[in-house]
Structures are given as C-alpha cells and as structure tokens.
Amino acid sequence: MNLEAVRAIYKFEMARARRTVTQTIISPVISTSLYFVVFGAAIGSRIQSVGGVGYGSFIVPGLVMLSLLGQSIANASFGIYFPRFTGTIYEVLSAPVSAVEIVLGYAGAAATKSVILGVIILITARLFVPLQLLHPLWMVAFLVLTAATFSLVGFIIGIWADGFEKLQIVPLLIVTPLTFLGGSFYSINMLPHPWRTVALFDPVVYLISGFRWSFYGIADVNVAVSLGMTAVFLAVSLAIVWWIFRTGYRLKT
Amino acid sequence: MDNIIEISAVSKTYGSGFIALKGIDLAIRRGEIFALLGPNGAGKTTLISIVCGIVRASSGQVKVDGHDIVRDWRRARALIGLVPQELTTDAFESVWNTVSFTRGLFGLRANPAHLESVLRALSLWDKRNSRIMTLSGGMKRRLLIAKALAHEPRVLFLDEPTAGVDVDLRHDMWQLISRLRGEGVTVILTTHYIEEAEEMADRVGVINKGELVLVRDKSDLMREFGSKRLSLRLRRPLAAVPPALEGWRLELSGDGGELTYIYDAKDAHDGVGGFLDRVRDAGIEFTDLGTTESSLEDIFVSLVRQSP
C-alpha cells in the first residue's frame, strides 16, 4: 500500500479546501442559518412539533444531510475533475498509485471536509435550537458512512463529467430534489398516503431517517433498514468506482 | 550495455479506430540519452504514455528494468519520471507544494534537501513559495522537469522538453540532461528541435505513422545517411566539369567559379584525398576550400519522406 501517495493526495485536497474556505465552509453555514430563519422561525412557528420534537430541532438532521450530500459530491467531483480538466491527472496515472489509494486520497479528503462541515452545522444549529443526541455513535456512523458514500458518488460524477456543466447536473437535478423530497424538512408520515409510498423510493429518505433517529429516536423507517440501505449505496458506489478503474473509463485510453 | 526498457511488439489502436502504433520493438540502453524523432502524429507521445502507464497498449509488452508495466506496474512506474508535452500545472498551488506532492505520489517520504537541490538546479529555488500561475512559461516548463525529478527516477521521459523555451534556457536544460546522464539516469526525449537530438543524443530512433523506421547510434546514423560537401573556390571558372573528373558526384556553380564534391561513407571513390589528387592532375587550381555536412535534420526529413 502506497500510504505516502494517499497522504499526498489527501493533504493536497485538504489544502485546496483551506484555500476555498468561503466556498467550502462559510457558504454552507450561511445557507443552513438561512434555512433556520425561513423554515425554523417562519414555518416552525406554525408547526409545534413532529413526533414530539420541536420543528426547529426536527429539521436539524435533515439540514446536516442536505449540506453533507451536496458538499460531499461537490468536493469529490471537483477534486478529481479539475486535474482531468487541467491535464495534471497524468501525474496520478503515471505514479505507482493503485485505484484504491487514489480513491482513498480524493474521496477520503472530500468525506473529511463534509464531516467537518456537518459538525460545524450542528454547532451552528445548536445556537438556534436545542439538540438531543440519543445515539452519538450511530450519529457518527451515519455521518461518516453518508459522507463516504456521497464522496464516492461525487468521484464518479467527476470522472463521468466532460465539462463543468455536467459536474452540476447530477447535484442540481437529482440529488438536491431527492434531498428536499427525502424528509429534510418533514416526516414522510406527514404525507398523504400514495405519496408516502412513493417517498420510500427516494434513497435519501433512509439516510435522513436513520440520521434523525440517532438524535431523537424517531424514524420514518426502521433504523436497520436505513443502515442497510446506506451500506447498499456504499457498495454500489464502490462497485462503480471499481469498474471505472478496471476499464479505465474516461481516465485511460 | 544492458537494457533498462524493453518494448516488444507494442501496438495501439484507439477507440476511434486510429492506429497509433504498429508492432513497435525498441530497447533503451541503461544510462543513454535516446532521442525519439518523428513528425506530428507519428506515435511518439502514445509510445511514451504506454510506457508510463497513462495509455493502455492494445498488444505487446513493455518492461522497465525487468519489471512488466502491467503485472509489476508499481515497481516499473517507481523508476520513471515524466515531463509531459503540455504545460499542465496546478495554477493555484505553490512550487514547493507541487514538487512535494509529486514525491509523495511516488511513495517517498519528504526530502527537503533533495527537492532544494532540484529546484536550485532548475533556477526555481527563489520561486519556491510562488503560486504556479505567477510563473513564466519557461519557469513552468522547468517546474515540470523538477516534478519529474522529485522522486529521483532512473528513467526520465522528456516529451518536447524545450518547446517554447528561449535559447539560453534550452542550453541550460541540455546541460542538466547531460548531468543527469552523468548520474546514471536514462533519458528518453522526443523533440521537434532536431538540433537538440544532434547535440545530446547517444542514439536516435525515427518513428513515422506508428512504425519505427530506424534506430541507430547518432554517429552511425550521421555517417550512414549523412553526406558531406567539399567546395573548391576555383582560380579560373570552368565552363563544364572536365572529362577527367567524370564519375565523381560533382556540382558546378552557375558562374563556374565553385566546384563541389558530394561524398558519404558509402562513396566508392577513395574520399577527399583522391578527389584532390584528381583535381590537381586535371590542372584545376583553387584558391580556397571548405566542407559542410548534412545535419540530423536533413537525414530525418529524408528518412520520413522515404518511409511508406
């Protein structure tokens, strides 16, 4: 295992995050604060509680997931796409670095940044609403698993994209709508019957539900199912990344 | 001398159907400077990219110091440094960070002393904390060389290393390459500046349309394919070449004042001495003489035109 290479890529990517701290950290924190103002204060005043949890507190896990998914994808996709765009990817491809090491470096850095962001958002949220954390270890597990999974998704998008527009298509047209419809701001039990069933086809429901359960012990779906679905997403993402390196898709001709 | 790179029957057909390489066999000797020459699209960069692991060969085998680039890719790649043709750099990164990054990619721990010596050798030490975007084109080119040397490679590929580089800098690079050879590094370079190959290379390979046209020691190539010209400035102009000199490859200038003898290693006659004896026997007097020889560029152009 070329651990020095993993460390080099990881360090390089983390340095990029430091250079773009406004975009990476400050911007999502401001956006999250605005969600609290709009959804927490304006709408929350009309919804007293959901499952016994105050609405402002209820939406915190969803907001963390919203940022976590978006930033994991953005960080990882940009991290691998930019060297492809500038041509510097030749360095990584010609170095004695395996696919696993490349992914650990790029996706690991993206996941780390997302986890840091998630923690910052939780701290920010704590300034607005009270938080309860019933299952801290499970919270960390969901946080890390989701960050890792969607960093892999971002890595895949960064390999697939052949332009900056494509880099944005999946996050904007698929991930963001799924996150909004996946129970970030409500429990799917609040939906009328047919839509509640339809919502179960949204994979993000399982991520948010499991994560919310770790805070308040309330969930839209069984926590084991949430964990299982998260593991399935991770496995599918890993399989696609494995296929990319095996075939050289968009990396090697 | 043993071979550090062995390329056997390597072919490459791209997805578009374009055949870039057709059964290339080539051995690079340890410690030599090998110049790979060819026109645009000949397959030079494809061949280099295959050896470095960036492009996959359609068939054939490549070994670097005995390590197969597919089965034993880690060991093979660890030995290679690559300077790409394009000025591909991380614009926002500093010079020091980017060379450190490259060293790390090759699995080596930080070695500030080595990186400092590389940057000093390439006159980049003063720019170590500068962002790459602030460097001139020549500095970026040197930076790419510094990155390729960051992990102390035993084989260095230079793909058009001096493209867009001014004359002084080009000569500095030639000196650096010679010094690397002195340290035992094998250098393979592609270049459009034939003068560069003529100046530095021990051996020359000419590739055209995906086929290796020839591989020769540079001196053998010059001797075998090159020609020399001996020009005599005549005391009295001639109206025509005298019958006594028939059978020699001669050119008489338009004003009849200069007689030029063209000869090469395969010339059937006994060279310059014999020619001058014949001239004297023919009663031709001359006031001055000079010789010129064809350059590697002349030979290269002729070889590329001749190849199918």
| pLDDT, tens digit only, all 308 positions of chain B | 599 999 999 999 998 889 999 999 999 999 999 999 888 888 999 999 999 999 999 999 999 999 999 999 999 999 999 999 888 888 888 999 999 999 999 999 989 999 999 999 888 999 999 999 999 888 888 899 999 999 999 999 998 877 767 777 778 888 888 888 898 999 999 876 777 777 888 998 988 889 998 898 887 777 777 677 889 999 999 988 888 888 888 889 989 999 998 887 566 456 788 888 889 888 899 999 988 876 666 777 777 676 66
A236: closest CA of chain B, how far (Å): 26
CB-based contact (8 Å) between A92 and chain B? yes
Amino acid identity at B201: A
What is the number of domains present in chain A?
1
What's the CA gap between B124 and B116, in Å, rounded? 9
Which pTM was predicted? 0.79
Residue A252 belongs to a domain:
no
* Per-residue pLDDT of chain A in tens (253 residues, 90 and over written 9): 889 999 999 999 998 888 887 777 788 788 888 887 787 677 777 777 888 888 888 888 998 998 899 889 988 999 899 888 888 889 999 999 988 899 899 999 999 999 999 999 898 888 888 888 999 999 999 999 999 999 999 999 999 988 888 888 888 888 888 888 888 888 888 888 888 888 888 888 999 999 999 999 988 889 999 999 889 999 999 999 999 888 878 777 7
What's the CA gap between A110 and A231, in Å, rounded? 18
Residue B139 belongs to a domain:
no
Same domain assignment for residues B188 and B301: no
The set of residues, in sequence order, having a beta carbon less than 8 Å from that of A126 and lying 6+ positions away, is: none
φ, ψ for residue B45, nearest 5 deg? -65, -35
ipTM of the complex: 0.82
Domain that residue A117 falls in? 3-247
Same domain assignment for residues B248 and B273: yes
Residue B273 belongs to a domain:
yes
Residue B96 belongs to a domain:
no
DSSP string, B179-237: HHHHTT-EEEEE-S-HHHHHHH-SEEEEEETTEEEEEEEHHHHHHHH--EEEEEEESS-
pLDDT at B119: 92
Same domain assignment for residues B3 and B39: yes
Same domain assignment for residues B208 and B279: no
Helix (H) or strand (E) holding B290: strand B286-293
Q: In CATH, what number is assigned to the domain containing residue B29?
A: 3.40.50.300
List all residues of chain A from 159 to 198 with a beta carbon under 8 Å from chain B: none
Residue B141 belongs to a domain:
no
Residue A92 belongs to a domain:
yes
Binding-site residues on chain B for chain A (CB distance < 8 A): 14-15, 52-56, 73-75, 77-78, 80, 82, 84, 86, 88-93, 97, 100-109, 147
What residue has token string 């799924």?
A178
pLDDT at B265: 57
Which chain B positions have a beta carbon within 8 Å of A16's beta carbon?
Answer: 92
Residue A110 and residue A118 in contact, taking contact as beta carbons nearer than 8 Å:
no
pLDDT at A22: 78
Note whether B55 contacts A96, CB cutoff 8 Å.
no
Q: How do residues A31-74 score in pLDDT, each as one tens digit? A: 888 887 787 677 777 777 888 888 888 888 998 998 899 889 98
Residue A91 belongs to a domain:
yes
pLDDT at A228: 92
Residue B249 belongs to a domain:
yes
Which chain B positions have a beta carbon within 8 Å of A98's beta carbon?
Answer: 74
Amino acid identity at A116: I
Residue A72 belongs to a domain:
yes
Q: Beta partners for B108? A: none
Residue B125 belongs to a domain:
no
What's the CA gap between B172 and B110, in Å, rounded? 27
Domain that residue B19 falls in? 1-79+154-160+181-225
Q: How far apart, in Å, are the Cα atoms of B199 and each of A62, A185, B105, B228, B296?
A: 67, 71, 33, 18, 10
Note whether B88 contacts A253, CB cutoff 8 Å.
no
Q: How many CB pairs under 8 A join A and B?
A: 81
Same domain assignment for residues B248 and B213: no
What is the number of domains present in chain B?
2
Residue A32 belongs to a domain:
yes
Residue B136 belongs to a domain:
no
Residue A253 belongs to a domain:
no
What's the CA gap between A213 and B224, in Å, rounded? 82
Same domain assignment for residues B221 and B241: no
Query: Nearest CA to B61 among B3, B4, B7?
Result: B7
What's the CA gap between B220 and B216, in Å, rounded? 6
Beta strands in A89-140, from DSSP E residues, in sequence order: none
Residue B19 belongs to a domain:
yes
CB-based contact (8 Å) between A86 and chain B? yes
